[in-house]
Amino acid sequence: MHKTDFPVEKYRKDFPILERKIGKYPLVYFDNAATSQTPKQVIEAISNYYATYNSNIHRGVHTLSNEATDAYEQSRKKIQAHFNAAHPHEIIFTSGTTHAINLVASGFKNFIKEGDELIVSALEHHSNIVPWQMLCEQTGAVLKVIPMLQSGILDMKAFDQMLSDKTKLIFCNHVSNALGVINPISELIEKGHSVGAAVLIDGAQAAPHIQADVQELDVDFYVVSAHKMCGPTGVGVLYAKEEWLNKLPPYQGGGEMIAEVSFEKTTYAGLPHKFEAGTPNICGGIAFGAALDYMNAIGIKNIAEYENELLTYATTRLKEISELRIIGDVAHKTAVISFVVEGAHPYDIGSILDKMGIAVRTGHHCAQPIMDFYQIPGTIRASFSFYNTFEEIDRLIEALKRALSMLL
Ligand SMILES: *Cc1c(COP(=O)(O)O)cnc(C)c1O
């Protein structure tokens, strides 16, 4: 029935957690948009680090420190290559997407003045809204919102009308975490640049499914979190064009980010260290590299193709349930399905699914403006990864039907 020849059973063996049971049921993990699971290759990179060369980086003369520094910098190069950045120093390690966006928003205080305009999309995660609202409060800049259409896509005609020479910055996610909708980022970047605005793309939800080429996109800033792409939590990166990193002030002061310190004057270190104050998540940075190695060995294209088949199958099967409505059922999306059921609260459905071993997310998915737009309290979100199977989707459908027979 399924045409795929993707060796999912082989890859599933790499994920120890997939052997877990929830009560008497084998775990079905459909919360990949919140965080992905970790293959043993990445778990081994983490335990190998702590077991054999745990050490602080960039300062030691001793062997362990040199090994840790090499592995950390090697990882930076892998990330550079993966996103096709022009230089390794354009990759800044952060604690994740949220930290990366705050770093840029904080730096822009120097370039934004009262009356300037920033444009955000209606489809954003709170972490790509709140730091900019704080920037606007501090500077008197105005935040404009690209509205969304009922279908779940952005109203690009409205975007065209709000662009002007007052526009200084545009920020948008590549893929919406709440709906899975893929946004027209090339168009946003090109049009943004045509009025002299800088563009930041939040790639947190896209990176596990779409391989972005930052030079081809010509994007100014691209941010991701490792934990959504088979890596550990607490690490991510900011990609920024070198010219922006030279212009932006440091975000935090401390060790590692300085050239020289005296009480009269401190000079800052060069890139990327200017933005990496303090001891970073060394092990996490190294494990991020291992996660990219793992995903690239499978191939992001192959992953996306298989996930697309899962998405098509799940969408068709969910539509068997007449009370169920998919939110953001658009052609151009990743393997995320958000839905509501007339007469049943998402939380109640999610709790019953959990009792049957199925992990989905319920709620506003850190995107309350989207929920307000649809006038719903939240959705149930099933998000798939390449280690999920068609059989697991069948289990979701059966469990949903049972849950609804109890609730409706
Ligand atoms: C997960 C996510 C974030 C936040 O990432 P953190 O790792 O929590 O910082 C931001 N934007 C999108 C689109 C996301 O999916």
Question: Is residue 56 domain-shared with residue 131, that is, in the same domain?
Answer: yes
Candidate from 102, 202, 361 with most ligand 1 atoms within 8 A of CB, to mutate = 202
Question: Is residue 25 domain-shared with residue 48, that is, in the same domain?
Answer: no
Question: Is residue 274 domain-shared with residue 342, that is, in the same domain?
Answer: no
Question: Is residue 339 domain-shared with residue 249, that is, in the same domain?
Answer: no
CATH number for the domain harbouring residue 123: 3.40.640.10
Q: Which atom of ligand 1 is nearest to the CA of 127?
A: 10
366 flagged as catalytic:
yes
d(CA 218, CA 264): 40
Question: Is residue 239 domain-shared with residue 362, that is, in the same domain?
Answer: no
Q: Which two tokens stand for residue 166?
A: 């007052």
- Active-site entry in 172, 230, 283, 366: 366
d(CA 397, CA 408): 16
> Which residues does 344 contact at the CB level (< 8 Å), separation at least 6?
323, 403, 404, 407, 408
**Residue 38 falls inside a structural domain:** no
CA of 101 to the centre of ligand 1 (A): 10
**Residue 199 falls inside a structural domain:** yes
Mean pLDDT per 10-residue interval, the chain, length 408 residues: 84 98 98 98 98 93 96 98 98 98 96 97 97 97 98 98 98 97 98 98 98 98 98 98 96 90 91 95 98 98 97 98 96 97 96 98 95 96 98 98 96
Candidate from 127, 172, 179, 370 with most ligand 1 atoms within 8 A of CB, to mutate = 127
β strands within 83-138, DSSP E: 91-94, 117-121
Q: Residue 212 in contact with residue 206, Cβ under 8 Å?
A: yes
The 8-class DSSP code of residue 84 comes to T
- Please report the pLDDT score of residue 59 as a whole number: 79
Structural domain range at position 382? 8-30+299-407
CA of 63 to the centre of ligand 1 (A): 36
| Domains: count for the chain | 2
Write phi, then psi, for 223 (nearest 5 degrees).
Answer: -125, 140
Q: Determine if the peptide bond prior to 16 is cis (ω within 30°).
A: no
Nearest CA among 318, 338, 322, 315 for reference residue 408: 322
Question: Is residue 194 domain-shared with residue 47, that is, in the same domain?
Answer: yes
Question: Is residue 206 domain-shared with residue 93, that is, in the same domain?
Answer: yes
- Please report the pLDDT score of residue 4 as a whole number: 76
Question: Is residue 371 domain-shared with residue 245, that is, in the same domain?
Answer: no
CATH number for the domain harbouring residue 345: 3.90.1150.10
**Residue 1 falls inside a structural domain:** no
Q: Residue 309 in contact with residue 4, Cβ under 8 Å?
A: yes
Question: Is residue 248 domain-shared with residue 293, that is, in the same domain?
Answer: yes
Question: Is residue 248 domain-shared with residue 387, that is, in the same domain?
Answer: no
Between 282-298 and 63-83, two packed helices, what is the crossing angle to 10 degrees?
A: 40
Q: Which of 251, 266, 297 is the C-terminal boundary of a domain?
A: 297
**Residue 276 falls inside a structural domain:** yes
**Residue 106 falls inside a structural domain:** yes
Question: Is residue 77 domain-shared with residue 159, that is, in the same domain?
Answer: yes
Q: Which of 237, 264, 297 is the C-terminal boundary of a domain?
A: 297
Question: Is residue 237 domain-shared with residue 331, that is, in the same domain?
Answer: no
What pTM was computed for the model? 0.98
**Residue 232 falls inside a structural domain:** yes
List C-alpha distances in Å: 77 to 80, 83, 246. 5, 10, 19
**Residue 35 falls inside a structural domain:** no
β strands within 241-393, DSSP E: 258-261, 266-268, 324-327, 336-341, 358-359, 361-363, 379-383
